[in-house]
Structure 1
Amino acid sequence: MDTKGSAMRYLICLLAGLLSALATSAGAAPDVFILDAPVNAIDKRNDYTDKLLTQILRKTQAKYGPFRIEYAPEYMQRDRLLTELKKGDVVNITAKATRPDWESSELIPIFIPVDKGITEYRIALIRQGDQERFSKLKSLDELKKIPLGVGNGWSTRQVFQKLDFTLETGSDWEGLYQMLMSKRFDYFPRALSEVFVEYDDRIGRFPDMAIENSFMLYFPLPKYFFVSPQHPRLAKRVEEGFKMMINDGSFDKLFLDHHRELIARASFCTRKIFRMENPLLSDKTPLNVAEYWFDPFSGRKGRASARASCNSGPHAGARAN
């Protein structure tokens, strides 16, 4: 009896040792996340999503083990980025505004807006001296007749085109600022998370550039993490970690820590907001999940809010057309 018990204990210990060895071996190889590279050294558009991804992965370390974040060797336009993501070798994850072709491709989208949809609020860069022209606008139809600048491969180009705006496209992001100043178009709509940073970084080179101060554009165009189909484990890890951050409140905290000053600077309640539907959104867009979205006019619990800029003064609660 004792012999049998000793043999059983030995087998149990042996099995435990084998499982431990396997776990150690698995843990020795971190999950490697390869992000797309920025355009250049002053391109800060991905700073927030890079930080978000890092926090997501830290949340999942207990279950998934260590991780490493790397960057692709060079910047890629969206068509090439899509091709490389499908392969999953030089890049395997990105955070980009959604597009129908990206959702219908083999990529694995994580259907949670990485920035709570704040990029859906857009403020224009214009030329000094043109403010009065925009301040006099009374309708969205008037605005649509004025040529705007947009990147040829951007998701926003497809939406603006579908909504009948007058477009002037460019293939080079930095070149669009020069096109604005050269009067190739008259305004350059930028996401709330982009406009002030880009203006501050470039005003030295373009001293006649200005931030338009009378209106915003709004249409839903969520930015998601897209993961290579070659790496389903990475996608699963990101989705689980993201939901952990939502549930424990750390997502809202990171979002507000990063965007609070930009939200205040945007002056929501002093601007007309031209609201539009996005005809290109898929039925997988989680529009009915309130905690996923930023709302500048709501103080409802569970929703990151800029209510402090909108709940006092003559414009309290204002929602422009």
Structure 2
Amino acid sequence: MPMGLPRLGRVCLCLLVAGLAPLGALHATDDIAPQWRFVHNAPETEGDQRYAYHWRVLRAALEVTRSKYGDYRLEPGRPMSEKLQVIDMQRPQVGLNTLVLDATQTLEEALLPVKIPVDKGLLGYRVFLIQAADQPRFAGVQSLEQLRQLRFGQQREWSDVAVYQVAGLPVVTGSSYEGLFHMLMLRRFDAFGRGVSEVSGELAHWRKKYPQMAIESELLLYYPLPVYFWFARTDEGRIRARRVEEGMHTLMADGTLDRLFAEEYAATIEQLGLDRRRMLMIANPHLSSNHPFDKAAYWFTPTP
């Protein structure tokens, strides 16, 4: 500090120097290697909270690998449908480079998965959004044959469509995620199958507009539906996948993934009473044989 600087000047200079620190930190965070910039799929519509948990898990996986790999940036891309997300992931220009999505054999051929299920397989447990007045129709369903007498809504491009169809369950498809909730209320179909991890937030959002919407109270449909983080089959994509896989193994080993899962879903699982529902099981024709179903710690199972 110059000795001849007036007191006011010294104070101003100190404030200026102090004020520069955050700017320096900001520029430092901009200096992140391109492979550690994770641009992920954004919510498709207002109120779409389906993936908030998944990005918390990804952030945790990146945090536990920070000392080895360095800083990272996690940010959403522009909103788009699942079909466009997969297309965007395969483009060479800057766009999405990180995806969370349920596995299909076709997707495995296009993208590189980290085969540790982010939600412990919870998405494969399905309950139904219905019109509350229709609950008596579902109360009498005891078998798949009886379930086949109902119609089920799904988005046209979702892998669930073929799962339902192969099981003989009639499907009415819609062109958009948001539109399916409107179609249910217009009775275009009888039920909208939703993952346990999705349904409570969706009901809370849509019941403001449709107070007659409800979660069916007695049935639980299950088909294997592992949800993974996905990366491009490029050098950068493989580097990202390697870091995330190491992080996910650490989260499994130290109990962090179980803790995050419980924080996010334990109350919902209890509220929906999964262990008290009649569970009907169907196959998933989309899956390859190369999934870690033999690792019990990776998967959630409702227990009575």
Contact 2:44 2:81 in 1 (8 A): no
From 105, 116, 120, the equivalent of 1:116 is 120
Contact 2:163 2:283 in 1 (8 A): no
1:44 maps to 2:49 = yes
Inter-partner Cα distance in structure 2 for 1:121 and 1:134: 17
Q: Which residue matches 2:3?
A: none
Question: How far has the Cα of 1:145 moved from its partner?
Answer: 2.4
Inter-partner Cα distance in structure 1 for 2:190 and 2:31: 54
1:96 maps to 2:101 = yes
Q: Which residue matches 1:4?
A: none
From 260, 265, 270, the equivalent of 2:266 is 260
Inter-partner Cα distance in structure 2 for 1:242 and 1:277: 27
Paired residue type of 1:173: Y
Deviations 1:79-117 (A, max 9, x none): 221111112521001110112210122x11111111000
Contact 1:111 1:284 in 2 (8 A): no
Inter-partner Cα distance in structure 2 for 1:132 and 1:199: 20
Task: Indicate the percent of aligned positions where both proteins have the same amino acid.
Answer: 35
TM-score (norm 1): 0.82
Inter-partner Cα distance in structure 2 for 1:157 and 1:90: 28
Contact 2:162 2:285 in 1 (8 A): no
Q: Which residue matches 2:32?
A: 29
Inter-partner Cα distance in structure 1 for 2:260 and 2:142: 37
3-state SS of 2:130 partner? strand
Contact 2:184 2:191 in 1 (8 A): yes
Question: How far has the Cα of 1:29 moved from its partner?
Answer: 2.3
- In structure 2, stretches of 5+ residues that fail to align are 1-27
Inter-partner Cα distance in structure 2 for 1:199 and 1:252: 25
Q: Which residue matches 2:218?
A: 214
Bigger Cα displacement from structure 2, 77-86 vs 240-249: 77-86
Q: Which residue matches 2:173?
A: 169
TM-score (norm 2): 0.86
Name the count of aligned residue pairs. 271
Instruction: Map residues 49-198 of structure 1 onto 2, 5 A cutoff.
Output: 49-72=54-77, 74-87=78-91, 89-105=94-110, 107-198=111-202
- In structure 1, stretches of 5+ residues that fail to align are 1-24, 298-309, 311-321
Inter-partner Cα distance in structure 1 for 2:118 and 2:275: 24
Structure possessing the higher relative contact order (Cα contacts under 8 Å, 6 or more residues apart): 2
Paired residue type of 1:196: S
Contact 2:141 2:147 in 1 (8 A): yes
Question: How far has the Cα of 1:28 moved from its partner?
Answer: 4.2
CA RMSD, Structure 1 to Structure 2 (Å): 1.5
Question: How far has the Cα of 1:284 moved from its partner?
Answer: 1.1
3-state SS of 1:70 partner? strand
